[in-house]
C-alpha cells in the first residue's frame, strides 16, 4: 500500500495580548521555535501590526483557528481571549497544547480539569521548548484522526449510543477504544 504523504502541520499560536517586554520575548521565542521546527502558522498575530477593530481581530483569529491542525496556547499569563480560543478549537475538535512556563505559574485549575484527548497542558522552559513541542506534536500526529464512513444497523447504533452515553464519550471515541483494544489483543 502506498505511504501517505505527511503534510506539514498548520499551527495557530494563541497567547494573551502582549503587555510586557517579558511576555513579548516569551511569545516571540515560541513563535520562532514553531517556525524553526518547520511548521506553518495559520495567522501570525504577532507580526500583524494592523490596528484592527475587535470584530476584525476576532475574525482573523477564528480564521486562523479554522485553518489549524493544532493550537498551541501559552497559558502562563491568564487571558479570557486565550480561553475563548481554546474553547473554539475544542468545539471544532482541533487538538490544543497548552504551554505554561516552569517556575512562573501553572494553568488554572479549570484548564487542568478540562484536559482530555483534545487538550494537554505541558510545562516548558526556554531550554526545553523544542523537545517539549516535538514530543507533544509527535503525539498529536500519532493520534491524529482520519474520517471514514461507518454504516451500522439500528441495533448496533442503539448499543453504541447507549454505551457511549454511559461512559460520557462520543460514539467515535467508543469505536476507537473498541478497535484499539482489538488491535492490542491481536498483537
pLDDT tens per residue, range 114-133: 778 888 999 999 899 999 99
Which residue, among 11, 2, 31, 42, has the nearest Cα to 140 in the 3D structure? Answer: 11
Over range 19-39, report the average pLDDT: 89
**Cα–Cα distance, 170 to 164 (Å, whole number):** 6
Over range 153-168, report the average pLDDT: 89
Q: Is the pLDDT of residue 3 over 50?
A: no
Q: Dump pLDDT digits (tens) for 100-111.
A: 988 876 777 777
Tell me the average pLDDT of the chain.
85
Which residues contact residue 76 at a Cβ distance below 8 angstroms, ignoring those fewer than 6 apart? 26, 99, 100, 101, 104, 105
Are the C-beta atoms of 70 and 7 separated by less than 8 Å? no
Q: Is the pLDDT of residue 67 over 80?
A: yes
pTM as predicted: 0.74
Where is pLDDT greater, at 6 or 181? 181
Q: Is the pLDDT of residue 62 over 50?
A: yes
Where is pLDDT greater, at 92 or 18? 92
Which residue, among 60, 67, 77, has the nearest Cα to 20 in the 3D structure? Answer: 77
Confidence category of residue 1, pLDDT binned at 50, 70, 90: very low
Amino acid at each position: 500500500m502506498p505511504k501517505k504523504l505527511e503534510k506539514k502541520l498548520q499551527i495557530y499560536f494563541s497567547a494573551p495580548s502582549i503587555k510586557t517586554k517579558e511576555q513579548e520575548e516569551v511569545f516571540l521565542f515560541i513563535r520562532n521555535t514553531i517556525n524553526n521546527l518547520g511548521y506553518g502558522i495559520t495567522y501570525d498575530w504577532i507580526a500583524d501590526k494592523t490596528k484592527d477593530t475587535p470584530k476584525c481581530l476576532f475574525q482573523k483569529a477564528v480564521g486562523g483557528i479554522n485553518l489549524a491542525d493544532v493550537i498551541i496556547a501559552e497559558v502562563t499569563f491568564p487571558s479570557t481571549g486565550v480561553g475563548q480560543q481554546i474553547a473554539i478549537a475544542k468545539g471544532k475538535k482541533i487538538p490544543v497544547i497548552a504551554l505554561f512556563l516552569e517556575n512562573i505559574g501553572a494553568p488554572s485549575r479549570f484548564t487542568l480539569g478540562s484536559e482530555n484527548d483534545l487538550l494537554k497542558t505541558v510545562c516548558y522552559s526556554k531550554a526545553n521548548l523544542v523537545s517539549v513541542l516535538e514530543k507533544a506534536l509527535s503525539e498529536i500526529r500519532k493520534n491524529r484522526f482520519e474520517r471514514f464512513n461507518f454504516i451500522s444497523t439500528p441495533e448496533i447504533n442503539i448499543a453504541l449510543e447507549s454505551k457511549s452515553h454511559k461512559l460520557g464519550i462520543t460514539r467515535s471515541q467508543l469505536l476507537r477504544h473498541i478497535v484499539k483494544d482489538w488491535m492490542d489483543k491481536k498483537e
